[in-house]
Structures are given as C-alpha cells and as structure tokens.
C-alpha cells in the first residue's frame, strides 16, 4: 500500500492483463474513467454485441477463442457498414478473477486488437454469480454520411454474399454431439467447422469495397435467410435467392449431399459473420474484381425484386422452398 496504488483486485487485474492492450493514446493507459476519441472529420460508427457463456459460446470453449469471438463479431458489423476499425471498449462479467483463464483471454484479445488495428480504449470488469459475459462496443470511422445501411436495396440489384454459409452452425452441432458429430468423421473438416463457430473471420478487407459499391449491406450473424429478410424489410423490397448458389464449404456440401443436414437449416442458422450486400447490376463486375483483389470469396446468390413479401428461396428446379424458421432469435 506504500506505493499509493490501490490494493483492489479489480484494478490489479486490469493493470496486469488489459493495460498492455491499451496502446491508443486516447485510452490513457486505462488509468482513467473514460477514453477519448480524437475528431478526424469522419463519422464514428458504433456497434455493440455481447456474447454469453452457454448462449454464444460453450462453457469449455478456450478463453482465446472467447476473446477473439467477442471482438470479431463487432469487427464484422463494422466491416459490413463500410467502417475502418478505430477501437473498442470491453465490459467483462466474471465469476472470479481466474488468472489461468484471464491470461490467455487477454493475450488473444491483444493479438486480435493488433491484427485488426482496433485497440482497447476502455472497459469495466465486474463480478457475476452467473455465466461469463463479454460485451464489446466497437468504433469505426467512415467519411461523413458514408456508413452503408441495411436500407438502400433496389429491385434489379444483385444479392451477394462473402465466404461460405452454415459452417459455424455445423461446428456448433459437432461440439454438441448428435448426428452431425457422428457423421463428420473427417478430422480436418471437423476442425474447420468448429473453428468457424469459435473464431469468426470478420471481413475487414471488405469495408472500403462495400462503401464503394454496395447499395445495402449487413453482416450475416443470425442466419442468411432471416438477415436477408431484415435487409429487404428495411429497404422496402423483396428478393429471390437461388439456393443452389448459396456458397457452402466442401465439408458442409458433403453433409448436405449425404442428407445429414438440410440446406434450409444452414441458411437459417447463426454465426456466419459473412457480408451480405446488394450491388447495382452495372457495378457487379467492378465489385467482383475489387473483392477478388482483396482475396475474399464471393457468391452471387439472387436478385432484389419489388414487393414486401419475405424473400423466396428456390431450388434448382425453380421450386420455392418454404422455410420453417428464418434465423436464430434470442426470444
């Protein structure tokens, strides 16, 4: 106590584990009650996503992947809005100050913060008698008025999506056991699918491209079908999606073709963290070229149409497939 430093466990764990991550000068070494974001002339884009043990991650998920997922689900939102990461704050609710958990959590969080250029600027660490919860609020920057919205899709535009859909849902199914677990016997495929559930790949390389080309954009976090429904609803349009064009990984394709899981389940499951956007037809070619240069996989899955009905999902015979559910909902 002679040093003038408080003896609080909370402060010492912040100093030990989180101060090294607070590399931005506006974080004031986490020595203060607040952070300061300098004015840059840009709009500050703000997104918040919380992940809860037993809901968004499993109790025995490694602390490293919990940390990465908490940050990356927010980076995914920023990318879909066309925003460049600028920093984040962390509210962490813990049952105990377990160093064996906190040390790898903070190390992985710091690695991702550096990787994505999104430093920790502040936070709050509280105790909870319940499940662990990690709440992140992330900040990005876009030129004034240039945030890309869910609204803005117009009839005739192309519906496009990055990466592959459904892998994370299969990864979760593998971790939970059951028929997908039994069927996915290939170790490499299992690891890929579980990895997609635990550690999303936010499409940060897409931010500028989305800003340049997309009329509407969002990240796919609650299921492709439901998220497209939301985008169409806010835009006041509908869509027709060709189910055959929905991009699947080899592992997912194998499970679908063997009848282990239905494509309609995969497009209604969460945790993809891909970017879903709409592109005016005359800009599709340039958009595709830009996305290719960024090294991101891209698929054209459908077309925006007039109307206000739920998007139609049609199979290779052109027959509409009715979906029992569109997406994951917490309630």
Q: Which of residues 41-80 bind its own copies (CB under 8 A)?
A: 41-52, 54-56, 77-78, 80
**Residue 106 falls in which region: left (phi positive, over 0), alpha (psi -120 to 50) or beta:** alpha
Tokens representing residue 181 in the block: 């677990």
Least separation in angstroms between residue 83's CB and its own copies is 7
Which of 137, 164, 249, 299: binder of its own copies (CB under 8 A)? Answer: 137
Residue 330 interacts with its own copies (CB under 8 A): yes or no: yes
Instruction: Return the number of the residue (188 or 322) whose C-beta is nearest its own copies.
Output: 322
Q: Indicate the length of the chain as a whole number.
A: 331
63-80 and 187-198 are packed helices; what angle lies between their axes, rounded to 10 degrees?
A: 70
- Minimum Å gap between C-beta 114 and its own copies is 20
Contact 192, 167 (CB under 8 A): yes
- Is 329 among the residues that bind its own copies (CB under 8 A)? yes
Residues 217/276, Cβ–Cβ less than 8 Å: yes
3-class DSSP assignment, residue 199: coil
CB of 29 to its own copies, least distance (A): 9
Write out the binding residues.
33, 47-49, 56, 77, 123-124, 150, 219, 221-222, 271, 328
Window 158-187: residues binding its own copies (CB under 8 A) = none
Q: Which helix (H) or strand (E) holds 138?
A: strand 133-142
End-to-end CA distance of the chain: 48
With binding defined as CB under 8 A, does residue 37 bind its own copies? yes
CA distances from 261 to 268, 272, 317 (A): 12, 16, 20
292 interacts with its own copies by CB under 8 A: no
Q: How many residues bind its own copies (CB under 8 A)?
A: 93
Report the residue number, 34 or 182, with the smaller CB distance to its own copies: 34
By the rule CB under 8 A, 214 interacts with its own copies: no
For its own copies, the binding residue among 180, 184, 232, 263 (CB under 8 A) is 232
Which run of H or of E encompasses 127? strand 120-127
**Residue (37 or 289) nearer to its own copies, CB:** 37
Stretch 107-126 residues interacting with its own copies (CB under 8 A): 121-126
Which residue is it, tokens 């459908």?
A: 302
CA gap 219, 226 in Å, rounded: 11
From the CB of residue 33, how many other CB atoms can be counted at a distance below 10 Å?
7
- Known binding residues for substrate are 56, 271, 328
153 binds its own copies (CB under 8 A): no
Out of 21, 71, 89, 160, the residue judged to bind its own copies by CB under 8 A: 89
Among 91, 284, 294, 297, binds its own copies (CB under 8 A): 91
């Amino acid at each position: 106590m002679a040093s003038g430093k408080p003896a609080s466990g909370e402060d010492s764990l912040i100093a030990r584990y989180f101060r090294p991550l607070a590399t931005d000068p506006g974080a004031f070494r986490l020595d203060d009650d607040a952070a300061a974001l300098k004015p840059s002339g840009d709009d500050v884009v703000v997104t918040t996503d919380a992940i809860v043990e037993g809901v968004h991650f499993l109790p025995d998920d490694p602390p490293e992947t919990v940390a990465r997922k908490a940050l990356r689900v927010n980076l995914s939102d920023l990318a879909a809005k066309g925003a460049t990461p600028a920093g984040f704050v962390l509210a962490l609710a813990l049952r105990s100050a377990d160093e064996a958990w906190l040390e790898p959590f903070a190390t992985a969080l710091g690695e991702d913060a550096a990787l994505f250029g999104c430093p920790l600027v502040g936070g709050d660490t509280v105790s909870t008698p319940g499940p662990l919860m990690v709440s992140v609020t992330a900040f990005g920057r876009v030129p004034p008025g240039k945030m890309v919205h869910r609204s803005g899709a117009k009839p005739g535009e192309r519906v496009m999506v990055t990466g592959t859909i459904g892998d994370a849902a299969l990864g979760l199914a593998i971790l939970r056991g059951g028929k997908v677990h039994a069927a996915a016997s290939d170790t490499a495929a299992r690891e890929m699918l579980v990895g997609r559930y635990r550690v999303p790949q936010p499409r940060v390389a897409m931010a500028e491209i989305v800003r340049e080309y997309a009329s509407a954009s969002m990240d796919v976090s609650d299921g492709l079908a439901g998220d497209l429904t939301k985008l169409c609803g806010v835009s006041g349009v509908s869509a027709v999606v060709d189910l055959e064009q929905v991009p699947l990984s080899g592992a997912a394709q194998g499970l679908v073709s063997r009848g282990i899981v239905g494509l309609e389940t995969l497009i209604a499951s969460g945790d993809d963290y891909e970017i879903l956007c709409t592109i005016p037809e005359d800009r599709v070619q340039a958009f595709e070229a830009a996305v290719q240069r960024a090294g991101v996989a891209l698929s054209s899955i459908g077309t925006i149409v007039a109307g206000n009905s739920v998007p139609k999902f049609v199979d290779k015979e052109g027959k509409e497939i009715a979906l029992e559910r569109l997406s994951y909902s917490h309630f």
